[in-house]
Amino acid sequence: AQSVTQLGSHVSVSEGALVLLRCNYSSSVPPYLFWYVQYPNQGLQLLLKYTSAATLVKGINGFEAEFKKSETSFHLTKPSAHMSDAAEYFCAVSDLDTGRRALTFGSGTRLQVQP
């Protein structure tokens, strides 16, 4: 089964600073990758997903992620953090090889934005 690793359970940035949240996947075959966000007291919602059409994927709220096969990475970035970006972010991979149509999630990264 595929897996994803998120480095850093907590990331703190200042408002206006660059946001970088790391995700590495384990697979020799390019997987189908996702970033989901969970705002306080809410369920998860999709930020963006990698479709293999382009290595740089743009999502909602100014976030984007770059797929790097050589590094098996799919890091999430945003040029300028906003207070409203404070949330928990999850990288996920589709379990193609098991055929179970589910997602395998990373452990999550909680983003704090300081004023």
Partner 1 sequence: DVKVTQSSRYLVKRTGEKVFLECVQDMDHENMFWYRQDPGLGLRLIYFSYDVKMKEKGDIPEGYSVSREKKERFSLILESASTNQTSMYLCASSLGLGDPLETQYFGPGTRLLVL
Which residues here bind partner 1, judged by CB under 8 A? 6, 9, 32, 36, 41-46, 49, 51, 90, 92, 94, 96, 100-108
Q: Which residue number, 13 or 106, has a Cβ lying nearer to partner 1? A: 106
Closest distance to partner 1 from the beta carbon of 31 (Å) = 9
| Cβ neighbours, 10 Å, residue 100 | 11
φ and ψ of 83, to 5 deg: -55, -35
Identity at 114, one-letter amino acid code: Q
Closest distance to partner 1 from the beta carbon of 82 (Å) = 23
Alpha helices in 1-115 (DSSP H): none
Beta-bridged to residue 16, according to DSSP, are none
SS3 for 74?
strand
Q: Which residue number, 12 or 45, has a Cβ lying nearer to partner 1? A: 45
Assess contact for 58 and 64: CB atoms under 8 A: yes
Q: Which residue number, 101 or 115, has a Cβ lying nearer to partner 1? A: 101
Q: Which residue number, 28 or 42, has a Cβ lying nearer to partner 1? A: 42
Closest distance to partner 1 from the beta carbon of 107 (Å) = 4
Both tokens assigned to 3 = 């897996």
